Structure 1
Amino acid sequence: MKVLVTGGSGFIASHCLKTLLAGNHTVVTTVRSAEKGEKILAAHSEASKGQLSYVVVPDIAQEGAFDKAVISDPPFDAVLHTASPFHFRFQDPKELLDPAIHGTKGILRAIKNSAPSVKRVVITSSFAAIVNPDGHPDVYSESRWNPVTYEEGIADRAKSYRASKALAERAAWSFVEEEKPGFSLATICPPYVFGPPIHPPESQEALNTSNLGFGSLMQGGWKEKLPPTGTWLWVDVRDIALAHVRAMEIPEAAGNRFFITAGHFDMKEVAEIAKKNFPEYADKLPAELISDKPNPLYDFDNSRSREVLGLEYMPLETSVVNTIKFLQSHPL
């Protein structure tokens, strides 16, 4: 298949590229600059000649941003839309909300208008689009939606990211329902994401948000107290990438949300794994490791991802060890 992947320099997207290339798909990825595009080509030396290329889309929030990117010869068969900002360094909440919502609607419109060959679109959503921090259910599954509004996302910075993901995913499903395009949709909703990056980070600040904690642990930032867990569900980035590609390939994935999670965890478990496998960090951790996991804690149902996509999830220890080893080999 020929596949367009948006935001190819991102943490999840770069693993999607690797998984697609391993599956012998031909891939074009969007990037914000030619410089980023060249770095992506260099990072994926496993690609055969002509298997991976890029197209520059400077600002995904702009009207018509993807209009040219979706046009290709030969044409695209599928699109993985992963591009959406995830960080907490924004000045204005609209920096998160608008690119997520407008970018999602924009690419779906561009595909419908200019890429009729596309039969499947897979969008990277998030557990943020499912979770309701104001009232957890007993079990989280794909049937749950975060009820946050755009106005709440603007008014409360703590809700801005969750609003960006929930509203972008809602916009995607609404588009398919109202516009009835020639493609089917699947969405991927992961929680806390661990795992080694594909691209070596250039600085501590350039680390993806989910792995900043590992850098802090290694540098002694957990010495006095473990950081709060926040979301007690996790998944490895390589399982997320596989979920995207299988949601693209498997006919039965059409029209489905997928809650992609390996299960519960807390930072105490992460610290214990680090201490066991990397004794050199023992003195960078508190003498007593205390769990912040509430009791009772909401349960999860990831059965759809196992039954439809055939996922078998990576253990937490494997993910943590792989991530720390990567960061050791690419010191900041």
Structure 2
Amino acid sequence: MSGPRVLLTGANGFIGSHILNQLLEKSVFVQAVVRSKEKASKIAKDFPHAGKSKLGFSIVPDITAPKAFENCIKESLPLSAIIHTASPVSSATIPSEYIEPAIQGTLQILEAAHNYAPSLKRFVYTSSIQSVVNPLDLNGIGTHYSSNSWNPVTMDQAMSGPLALTYSASKTFAEKAAWEFMKIRKPQFELVVLNPPGVFGPHRNHIESTASLNASNKWLYRNLMLSERSTAVPPDTVPLTVDVRDLALAHYQAAFAPGVGNRRYLVAEGSHLNQEICDYLRTVLGSEWEGRIPLGSPGNYTPAPDAFKTDLSDAQEILGRAYRSFEETFTDTGRYIADLHQKSPPLSDVGNETAW
């Protein structure tokens, strides 16, 4: 087949389905990697007009297994780019069950790409802002985060701390393993890493209920939309946001734009406090939701004096990203969740998701 070809892991997920949509719209052939035939069938239903000439499927039940990606890379050649968004499925109860699978899932696909995809030009890896910020000091006075910043949590801290800290560190260790791979193995392709914060927006993959929302949208739904007017506005941890549709386009640019390789990018539209999100959701969703969304101090969008600062210029200038407005993102997100809420029973439990 002529034209660019991309191997996309996690194609059935929240971010992956938007990337798939972006690639198909730009006439890129996509070999979608999923964990089961059932997930492949769901993607085919979500993209009924793609056809076999634009969309193929590979089944990889366990992305951490030895040689997990060899066959799917071989059957999708020649490849222009690989976009790796999938993360190991984990119900971890001990730190090592988070860390080792995260590292191995990354190294397995890099090794297979190096060995079996000689035409590959770019490997795009979806990391997280959790690889950038310090989870032990999110309000550190004078802290300035950029694409060059790293989560400083050590392996000893990750292995002895709470699982939330371990999960955060596992993202860092997996990304560092990817950069170490590039340094040691010197493959024929360039690596580009994207580090998004809380990712909001409507789902492109079909979901049946609010229980299947992605982590950031579920956090917004549970903590803001299903709260009470008298409840305190949740404290801000990492008040950065990005629209999933902008993130999808950033992945396309990371795969094909010239001069962007061998860098990492903190991809975010900007900083927005939870108070601002609450105020705007009340405006968008109207009286039906007004009594559920925390009131707080309307109009008070002044960050704490010791709040960290961020430099987002790399993604905006080098990667060439322009972003949707805060208003467009949260109009579409709020209305999408509200509509889904009407079609499915509301969540009854209070989860531990964070927006980032």
CA–CA distance in structure 2, aligned partners of residues 269 and 158 of structure 1: 26
Residue 287 (structure 1) shift? 4.1
1:231 matched to 2:238: yes
Partner residue of 2:326 out of 310, 316, 320: 316
Give the TM-score, by structure 1 length: 0.93
Partner residue of 2:175 out of 128, 144, 169: 169
Matched letter for residue 275 of structure 1: R
The count of residues paired between Structure 1 and Structure 2 equals 331
CA–CA distance in structure 1, aligned partners of residues 130 and 49 of structure 2: 33
Aligned partner of residue 205 in structure 1, secondary structure: helix
Identity of aligned pairs, percent? 36
Q: Residues 74 and 286 (structure 1 numbering): CA distance in 2 closer, same or farther, change over 3 Å?
A: closer
Residue 151 (structure 1) shift? 3.4
1:264 matched to 2:271: yes
Partner residue of 2:207 out of 182, 189, 201: 201
CA–CA distance in structure 2, aligned partners of residues 118 and 96 of structure 1: 29
**Which residue is equivalent to 2:135?**
133
Partner residue of 1:285 out of 293, 299, 310: 293
Partner residue of 2:37 out of 30, 34, 37: 34
Matched letter for residue 5 of structure 2: K
Of stretches 66-75 and 239-248 in structure 1, the one that deviates more from structure 2 is 66-75
Q: How does 1:10-25 map to 2 (within 5 A)?
A: 10-25=13-28
Aligned partner of residue 69 in structure 1, secondary structure: helix
Partner residue of 2:9 out of 6, 15, 29: 6
Of stretches 153-162 and 247-256 in structure 1, the one that deviates more from structure 2 is 153-162
Matched letter for residue 170 of structure 1: K
**Which residue is equivalent to 1:160?**
166
Residue by residue, what CA displacement relative to the aligned partner does 1:41-70 show, whole Å, maximum 9, x if unpaired? 111234254211211100111111111111
**Which residue is equivalent to 2:352?**
none
Aligned partner of residue 78 in structure 2, secondary structure: coil
1:244 matched to 2:243: no
Residue by residue, what CA displacement relative to the aligned partner does 1:248-277 show, whole Å, maximum 9, x if unpaired? 101211111111011111211111111111
Partner residue of 1:78 out of 76, 81, 91: 81
CA–CA distance in structure 1, aligned partners of residues 266 and 296 of structure 2: 34
Residue by residue, what CA displacement relative to the aligned partner does 1:285-327 show, whole Å, maximum 9, x if unpaired? 2343476942232221111111222111122221111012222
Contact 2:275 / 2:297 at 8 angstroms: preserved in 1? yes
Q: Residues 85 and 196 (structure 1 numbering): CA distance in 2 closer, same or farther, change over 3 Å?
A: farther
Contact 2:241 / 2:270 at 8 angstroms: preserved in 1? yes
1:54 matched to 2:63: no
CA–CA distance in structure 2, aligned partners of residues 287 and 141 of structure 1: 32
Q: Residues 111 and 317 (structure 1 numbering): CA distance in 2 closer, same or farther, change over 3 Å?
A: same
Partner residue of 1:65 out of 52, 63, 68: 68
Q: Residues 95 and 204 (structure 1 numbering): CA distance in 2 closer, same or farther, change over 3 Å?
A: farther
Of stretches 63-72 and 120-129 in structure 1, the one that deviates more from structure 2 is 63-72
Residue 211 (structure 1) shift? 0.6
Contact 1:149 / 1:167 at 8 angstroms: preserved in 2? no
Of stretches 121-130 and 227-236 in structure 1, the one that deviates more from structure 2 is 227-236
Is there any run of 5+ residues in structure 2 with no aligned partner, and where? 345-356
1:148 matched to 2:153: yes
CA–CA distance in structure 2, aligned partners of residues 56 and 95 of structure 1: 23
Residue 206 (structure 1) shift? 2.0
Of stretches 134-143 and 20-29 in structure 1, the one that deviates more from structure 2 is 134-143
Q: Residues 131 and 287 (structure 1 numbering): CA distance in 2 closer, same or farther, change over 3 Å?
A: closer
Contact 1:274 / 1:320 at 8 angstroms: preserved in 2? yes
CA–CA distance in structure 2, aligned partners of residues 178 and 20 of structure 1: 31
Of stretches 306-315 and 198-207 in structure 1, the one that deviates more from structure 2 is 198-207
Contact 1:86 / 1:209 at 8 angstroms: preserved in 2? no
Partner residue of 2:312 out of 302, 307, 313: 302
1:123 matched to 2:130: no
Residue by residue, what CA displacement relative to the aligned partner does 1:186-210 show, whole Å, maximum 9, x if unpaired? 1001111111111233343321111
